[in-house]
């Protein structure tokens, strides 16, 4: 039995993240998608097709059961609905998903390059953001390409070739922060690469440790 108060609360969290993405220019126009799992049952709330992040409301967000059955809605379901549903099915730890076409990260994805985790924060918090290729027919990635990558429970962020980014979390704010960190990391990597090229540098010293715990262990040696 789905709890109406739970549905409203999850919709409000989706609306909060959508507006934040729009304000930060992680997602303009009607692209991208974000969703959240209900606490009270096997269903999610998700943005429909054709609605911008800045236009999400309690009225237009859709309620979809994990088996794919959709509650009545005057809007078309998103092309991304199936991959969101499958991520919730294969990863019970995922409660929220933010998928954006943020420009710095999608630039890397369109050059066929994995965004490197360069900073101590990304090494510690993310580890790796795999680049997921387009579907075999050249179309946008589906659950057939995305879910196998997220079968690894340590993966929290990924980048879709020629498409955008995915951040997942135990809470909406966690997924939102990942969408922001992916974009920030792509921007940092671009600046680093431009500076290295300008100064004729071919190599760079990377952190010798990745996590605060490893740093303490190194210092204690
Ligand atoms: Zn997309």
Count CA atoms within 13 Å of residue 194 on its CB side. Answer: 6
Element (H, E) at 138: none
Quote the ligand 1 centre to 134 CA distance (angstroms): 12
Q: Report pLDDT digits (tens) over 113-172.
A: 999 998 888 888 898 999 999 999 888 999 999 999 999 999 999 999 999 999 999 999
Are 169 and 155 in contact, with CB atoms under 8 Å apart? no
Q: Report pLDDT digits (tens) over 62-101.
A: 999 999 999 999 999 999 999 999 999 999 999 999 999 9
Element (H, E) at 45: strand 43-46
Quote the ligand 1 centre to 120 CA distance (angstroms): 28
Are 122 and 104 in contact, with CB atoms under 8 Å apart? no
At 180, is the secondary structure helix, strand, or coil?
A: helix
At 98, is the secondary structure helix, strand, or coil?
A: strand
Confidence (pTM): 0.93
Predicted confidence (pLDDT) at residue 219 exceeds the cutoff of 90 = no
| Alpha-helical segments (H) within the chain | 4-23, 81-90, 103-110, 120-125, 143-150, 172-198, 212-220
Quote the ligand 1 centre to 119 CA distance (angstroms): 26
Question: Residue for token digits 């890397």?
Answer: 108
Average pLDDT along the chain = 93
113: Cβ–Cβ under 8 A, 6 or more apart, which residues? 131
**Residue-number span of the structural domain to which 145 is assigned:** 4-220
List own/partner pairs for 55-64 with CB under 8 A and 24 or more apart.
Answer: 55/30, 56/14, 56/15, 56/18, 56/19, 57/15, 58/8, 58/11, 58/12, 58/15, 61/11, 61/14, 61/15, 63/2, 63/7
Quote the ligand 1 centre to 132 CA distance (angstroms): 13
Largest CA distance in the chain: 63
Quote the ligand 1 centre to 136 CA distance (angstroms): 17
CATH number at 44 reads 3.40.225.10
Domains in the chain: how many in total? 1
Predicted confidence (pLDDT) at residue 216 exceeds the cutoff of 90 = no
């Amino acid at each position: 039995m789905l709890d109406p108060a739970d549905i409203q609360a999850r919709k409000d969290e989706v609306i909060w993240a959508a507006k934040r993405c729009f304000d930060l220019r992680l997602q303009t126009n009607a692209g991208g998608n974000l969703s959240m799992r209900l606490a009270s049952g096997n269903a999610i709330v998700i943005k429909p097709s054709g609605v911008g992040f800045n236009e999400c409301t309690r009225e237009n967000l859709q309620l979809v059961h994990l088996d794919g059955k959709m509650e009545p809605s005057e809007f078309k379901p998103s092309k991304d609905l199936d991959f969101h549903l499958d991520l919730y099915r294969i990863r019970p730890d995922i409660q929220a998903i933010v998928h954006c076409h943020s420009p710095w990260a999608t630039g890397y994805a369109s050059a066929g390059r994995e965004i490197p985790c360069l900073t101590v924060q990304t090494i510690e918090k993310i580890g790796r953001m795999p680049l997921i290729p387009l579907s075999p027919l050249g179309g946008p990635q589906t659950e057939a390409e995305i879910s196998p990558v997220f079968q690894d429970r340590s993966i929290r962020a990924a980048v879709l070739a020629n498409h955008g980014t995915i951040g997942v979390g135990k809470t909406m704010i966690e997924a939102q922060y990942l969408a922001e960190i992916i974009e920030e990391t792509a921007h940092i990597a671009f600046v680093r690469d431009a500076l290295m090229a300008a100064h004729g540098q071919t190599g760079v010293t990377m952190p010798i440790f990745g996590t605060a715990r490893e740093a303490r262990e190194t210092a204690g040696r």
